[in-house]
Chain A
Amino acid sequence: MGRLSRDKRDVFYRLAKEKGYRARSAFKLLQVDAEFDIFGARGAPASLGNTIEPLRVQRAVDLCAAPGSWSQVLSDKLYELNHATGDAGANSDQALDIDEQPEEPSIVAVDLQPMAPIDGVLCLQGDITAQSTAQDIIKHFQGNRAELVVCDGAPDVTGLHDVDEYLQGQLLLSAMMITTHVLCERGTFVAKIFRGRNVGFLYAQLRLLFERVSIAKPTSSRNSSMESFVVCQRFKGAPYLNLPHDELSDPLDSIDIPFLACGDLSDWSPSGEILDADKSYPIDESQYIAPIAPPIQPPYQTSMEKQAEDRRKKV
């Protein structure tokens, strides 16, 4: 059994491979959707206490998308919603522009790393904290705004804890700024957030722009990780449209945000039990499926080549 690393034995990793997703993180988005109905597919409150009716999504932005499993989920969901039977829970007032199928890809995905293409997804390469990248995304939408912006951004961890948290926070703030340019009023923004020391400041910023902000921890995210997801619903729009990219006001007073655990993936688990990222499930190694999207051009590629060269010289 030793051949597979811990990550590869993980139940969500295996499930992702089975379903053709490029990364196990797909399930985090699926679990968030199960709880919050972020695509507006159900058109009715998804769970008790969730009284916000999300917009039906036709355009979406995926920030920090590589290798692309969230984009795959977006692509699947948007296709189902807008091309399939058409009546899947559509509410009448939002079904207006369904007939006019957008010509352009309805999903824009951005990442520092190159990404293998996905149907219906426009992949841009860029740094989301850079003003120029933000402008590229805005340009693409040409006045049409998306109903959903997601961001799963995480900088490479350096191990200096506060630096990592700061950099992740900056990714989130940049994503939020881009969001004010591309998200339509009452739209939804979902982003990865490290629930670390200064998270309260980030919540405060988000609360300014959205009517409702919740923090969700899918069971597919390991218990022992700081990672969780902020789900921001009902973008207020003006006066918060098109905020300048790096003019951050001093952090506001930090605030508390309600926490929601989400674990419903009953569609995925054969026995209907709650899958738990902290539990080990039996594995059959012969069933192991090789990763679909191995990293494209890792930064250390040249370094590895040099090392191999050195070893050859020694022999």
Chain B
Amino acid sequence: MESSPTEAEGPTPRGVLRKTGVYGTPVSCVSFPHPDVLLYSLGAFLERTSTYRASGDGLTATPTPISSRHLVFPNGNTIHGIRYPHSDPNRLPTNSPPPANDGFDATVEVTVTGPEKAKKYALVFGSRHLALVQNVWGSPDHPVMETLSIRVGNVGSAHAIPPSTVWTLSDWIWDCRLQSTSDPRTDTVVVGLAHNNVEVWTLRRSPEGDTSVGGILSRTAQLRGVTRCITYCMDLGRDGYVATGTVRNEIVVWNQPTIHAQNTATDKFGADGHVSGEIVVVPEQARLRGHQGVIHGVKFNSDCRYLASTSDDRSVRLWKRPAGPEHAESGSLNGTNSWSLVWTGWGHTARTWKVAFVEAHNLVISTAEDGTARVWNLWSGDCRAVLRGHGASQNVWGIDVCGDWAVTGGNDGRVATYHIPSSLVAMWKHNEKGTEECVQSWQGTFPIPDDRILSTTGKTSLAQEKGAQIVKKKKKKIVHQILVGMGLVESSSTYMESPRIVVSTRAGSLLSLNLSTGSWITQEPWWNSSLLECNNIDAMDACCMAIHPSTGLIAIGTHRGDVVVLLDWDVDQRRRIVWAGNELKSVQKLEWKTSNTLVAFHVDALRWWQLPDSCDTEQFMDESLMTCKVLVPGTKALVLCCALNQKGKLAVVGDTRGNIALFDLNGSVGVDGSMAPRCVLPRAHRKEHVNVLLWISETKVLSGGNDGCLHECEVLDLCRLRSLYSFAVAAYTGIDRIWTMSRVCGSSRFAIAGYRGNEYVAIDTKGGYELFRADTGGRQRAALFSLGVPDRDGSRCANPILTVATSRKDGCNDVTINMRNGRWRGGSYGVGLHNETIFDAAFFPIGTTTSVFGLLTGSEDCTARISLWERGSLVSSIKLPCQESGVRAVCSSTFDVRHGTFLAVAGSQMALQFYHVRNEASEPPKPQNLTITSLGRGWQREKASMDHRINTVTSVPLHAAGDERRHLVLTGDSNGDCVLYHVGEALQTIHSGVLFFREARPVLSSKMCVLGSHVLVLVGTTEGTISFHSVLYGTNIDWSTVQRQNPDEVVQCHTMGTNTIDVCIMESAESEHTILVCSGGDDQSVACFKLHAKLCGSDLNLSIQKMQIVREASRSAVKGIAWLDQSHFASTGYDQKICVWKYTLGSIAKKCSLHVDIGDVNCLAHFQLQSTECTLGIAGAGIELITFNLCAL
């Protein structure tokens, strides 16, 4: 039965398997050679993008950066670094300012124009390999990057190896340095290797026009540190400085100033092109002790006076070389020339990875596993900023700095940039702006002036004394200063020069804090005795306030339902308009929608005050011009928020119990003048508060709530609301603001703000770039978040300010202001996928063309995503609602693209969720036109334990009676249970499953296929078996007969774990079918066989033929397998290889293979592009796409 050992693998035919791209995998290196050009790597691909800065500024820029991609290592190898030529330190003008970054003089390069710049080349390294890439910066006339071929050794030498684009060294490379020499065509390449060795090579680039070879390399020296062990990082500094970190928590520094000495005289080279001679052992200059864990990163500053390091101990440390002779002779390891610790920076909450110097600002910047980068003062080690360009729970590795800018790379495949000076935070000090350091953010606490009224008779006292006396220290109950509300008045307001925070109190005062001077102004009180006399309103009745930021209109609501409107800084100081509450209850909240629309939230109803458009603020005071609508949702909950659509016809209202009510404002009004909703969408945010609603189109509404979720619903005909999806936004415990960041080509980008525990955080929802963060000290505290004045291009969140009120022990209050000045400058590039390993993936069609397709992925990070691919490139990715724990399996099935695709997502704790995704009308499909609908969840009675999880899910489309499209879904779980579900595309309910069969061991894989009126079910277990069952469905499944005791057939394919199964129907006639089955096991084998299914009565008789097993098919567990056509299948697994096999009766032969760059390979998804071409998606720590071309085989 077993076939002979794998046939010798011939040379891989060219073009059969072609690497197309790597996505969503950890960004293994980032490089910022120029503020306009950004380079980063995903697997073996080098990605280049122009920055937003090149076309605009920061996040708000509308033009999309131009990007391109280059495969540096065609056989696969993750890139770990990019290095540019350093100018020869000896040739630097003596009185030039210190180079901007690491000796690489960016300012000189900026002036280089056209072809010269286009010629820029760089050294790219990864694992043991190096490549020379030309034109890395790109330019309009030379847009593409190319790898030069290199010959090692001299021409004509007997041992010369043919030129190659990849040059391989004897050990792992931690760092490289490309040093220019006086000869413009010759560079010295210094390579730092993992066992504390350094090699020096000379690279002579070929003259222009020599196309045969790009350069010739020869090794000129081999140096070795004294300490012999494996190291975890290395940095090669100027003048031959070498620093390396060990697992014993030490940093070893050594120095060989002659490293860069040119040695180009050819007569010294031996026959193999290497300078013969001894390996030089270089003594140590210092051993830096202090870290309490493995050293992960070391970095010298440009003149090697400082060394920064990172470690497992979560700290960042700065070390200093004492002043002394500039080039200490090697070997001078004595007391006077030893390095010392300057400071230790604590604050990262997980392992720290890499560091870089921001030389222009005397700062150090570090990255860590906690998802942040921190900026430290070079002299003091104070933390100056925490940069969060990546979503929460991310891992951030790479860092590079270019002048004022820094870039970091995350583990979801995205990079983020930061303008460093504008991200620094300071404590508020008056006139801080005058200092040299350009501080853009500050925090300050300001005590609110005491306006309490001293009284002995309690609240009935109406005394209104300005600047009330301080409470005497008598033994009596403290009178508290009670705040009614806070609001921001912008500087554009005609009355004042600078922005102010206005606070109103129940003593009737209006107090405002000038944000430029930090001083308080006591304004004319909002309350006066005439309010009591004419309207019977006491200052103590006030309970909420809203201020319109530019007009300065103030509205104050009372317990009795009245609203008082006045003008901030009213010249005539008298006018108050009162809208009586009538029979409506207390006003909980007030909100200015526009300068002529005010919404008052009464307990169970809201009033919508509207002034005709042309009216100005003066006329606002004229009640006769007002129209008022009363909306009553009738949901038995407090109303919290509302939004009106663009045409002004429809309004949505959210309440404290998670409901969203829809009102047709043109609809009929009840006898009491109130309106009832046309429909209510219950529990859109479970039973939690709906805090914010936003119309994102004429028919779609986005909402945020205290369940930490964003929810989208759609208005259908007849004023119905349908829930589309809801997902939890990373780590949010409550979302209470949503706004549009920018509109690019008709699609909008949203930003949200809300609480993450006690912190108030604003993020851009695309990629989770953090815009603002401040600690509120507790959610119970009154907090006001203002976006500030919109920029000219309409983008928002220019000057976010968070104001938090806290009560003091003496009964008064403080306000703490957290503020950013000026535009946030930074950006996010690339499309992110998952934060953790992807367990399963399934392609599905979206449009009628195959150039666009969708991919459903499920990951350990508890989410499933739908991503959209256009011509082999990832264009966008949408997150589906979060699961409680990891997603283990996904599947898709499609009847016909026009009807959309059915999706299932399953995972830990037996979670099972069904969706339907459809492309609304557009061709080619656009992400914003995808409609994703939840079809509810699957439910199974038994749940054995918390670890009971679904390992596999598979589905097939089954036409049921009439028009209804239904799918048969099978899940296999860790208890060995196989459960069947029958799910319709139209139904949104809970689907209960039927326990179909129980295996003795956990189920790992499954597959189904439709054979006439039967469905054939294949199930693989940890034991290495595949069992077969057939289910008769005819027009419908008879669930009463579906349960099985024994499988129809069982085969032992593997000695351990059947990880993956695929089937291919060869022939299918009325009563006879032939299918091909292939499977991959944890025992490193692949198996393949033919199966005949013959109809006997209502049963399918199965017979297995020609079982073939390749025992050593892989060097590791096989995790994914897929049929490419009727005789070829592909397999992949932990060995990071994709292999194509040919199955003929009697043998399985390996045809070709290719290395895969992503790690943790968990599955293989397959999508047919044309009859002879398909895309293979390999998922694990990211996604790698490989194109298979049958014709080339």
Contact = CB atoms under 8 A, between A and B. Distances in A.
Max chain B C-beta neighbours (<10 A), residue from A112, A160, A217, A278: A160
A34 to B, nearest CB: 15
A226 B1134 contact: yes
A170 B348 contact: no
Max chain B C-beta neighbours (<10 A), residue from A196, A200, A257, A279: A279
Nearest to A167: B230
A161 B1158 contact: yes
A198 to B, nearest CB: 9
A9 B948 CA distance: 11
Nearest to B1057: A223
A217 B1085 CA distance: 14
A307 interface: yes
B246 A127 contact: yes
Contact of B945 (A171, A283, A306): A283
Contact of B1135 (A155, A196, A306): A196
Interface string B1106-1137: 00000110011100000000000000001111
B194 A299 contact: no
Interface string B1131-1163: 000111100000000000000000100111010
A199 B315 CA distance: 34
Contact of B395 (A2, A159, A196): A159
Nearest to B1059: A223
Contact of B946 (A166, A197, A258, A280): A280
A168 B296 CA distance: 15
Interface string A86-130: 000000000000000000000000001000000000000011011
B293 interface: yes
Nearest to B1000: A273
Q: Interface residue tally of chain A, by bracket? A: 35 or more
Interface string A274-289: 1010111111000000
A280 B32 CA distance: 49
Contacts of B1085: 259
B1057 A302 contact: no
A258 B1084 CA distance: 9
B1112 A256 contact: yes
Contact of B1082 (A161, A223, A254, A258): A223
Contacts of B548: none
Contacts, number: 187
Contacts of B349: 303, 307
B312 A279 contact: no
Given A127-B246, A161-B1158, A246 B228 contact: yes
Contacts of B127: 162, 166
B222 interface: no
Contacts of A127: 229-230, 246-248
B294 A299 contact: yes
A286 to B, nearest CB: 15
Interface string B699-714: 0000000000000000
A224 B1056 CA distance: 12
Contact of B1056 (A158, A261, A280, A307): A261
Contact of A166 (B172, B351, B397): B172
B88 interface: no
A161 B1055 contact: no
Contacts of B1181: 159, 161
A268 B247 CA distance: 37
A158 B1116 contact: no
A300 B312 contact: yes
Contacts of B314: 299-300, 303
B195 interface: yes
A174 interface: yes
A269 to B, nearest CB: 13
B411 interface: yes
Contacts of A164: 1159
A214 B846 CA distance: 47
Nearest to B247: A127
A280 B947 contact: yes
A112 B247 contact: yes
B596 interface: no
Nearest to B348: A303
Nearest to A197: B1136
A250 interface: yes
Given A280-B945, A300-B293, A217 B1082 contact: yes
A77 interface: no
B1117 to A, nearest CB: 7
Contacts of A200: 1115
Interface in B769-785: 777
Given A160-B26, A196-B1159, A303 B1082 contact: no
A130 B313 contact: no
Tell me what chain A mostly uses at the interface: helix, strand, loop, or mixed: loop
A218 to B, nearest CB: 10
B1083 A245 contact: no
A259 B1159 contact: no
Interface string A1-44: 11000100110000000000000000000000000000000000
A197 B285 CA distance: 37
B314 to A, nearest CB: 4
Contacts of A301: 292
Interface in A112-164: 112, 126-127, 129-131, 155-156, 158-164
B946 A129 contact: no
B230 A170 contact: yes
Nearest to A299: B293
Given A161-B1159, A195-B1115, A282 B248 contact: no
A280 B974 contact: yes
A278 B1085 CA distance: 20
Contacts of A9: 945-947
A174 B1001 contact: no
A260 interface: yes
Nearest to B1135: A197
A200 B1115 CA distance: 7
A296 B674 CA distance: 69
Interface in B99-128: 126-127
B26 A159 contact: yes
B309 to A, nearest CB: 14
Contacts of A223: 1002, 1004, 1022, 1056-1057, 1059, 1082, 1117
Interface string B312-329: 111100000000000000
Contact of B228 (A166, A245, A283): A245
B775 to A, nearest CB: 8
A280 B312 CA distance: 33
A200 to B, nearest CB: 5
Interface string A174-205: 10000000000000000000011101100100
Contacts of B397: 159-160
A162 B1056 contact: no
A279 B247 CA distance: 36
Interface in B231-259: 232, 246-249
B1030 interface: no
Given A279-B1001, A299-B313, A161 B1160 contact: yes
19 contacts: A127-B246, A130-B246, A159-B395, A159-B411, A160-B78, A196-B1134, A217-B1082, A223-B1057, A226-B1117, A256-B6, A259-B1055, A260-B1055, A279-B975, A297-B292, A299-B249, A299-B293, A299-B311, A302-B292, A314-B777
Given A127-B230, A226-B1134, A307-B346, 16 more contacts: A2-B946, A112-B247, A126-B248, A158-B353, A161-B1181, A166-B172, A171-B230, A195-B1116, A195-B1134, A196-B1116, A217-B1083, A259-B1084, A279-B1002, A299-B249, A302-B292, A303-B314
Interface of A: 1-2, 6, 9-10, 112, 126-127, 129-131, 155-156, 158-167, 170-171, 174, 195-197, 199-200, 203, 215, 217, 219, 223-224, 226, 245-246, 250, 254, 256-261, 274, 276, 278-283, 297, 299-303, 306-307, 314
List 4 tightest A-B contacts by C-beta distance, closest first.
A161-B1159, A299-B293, A195-B1116, A280-B947
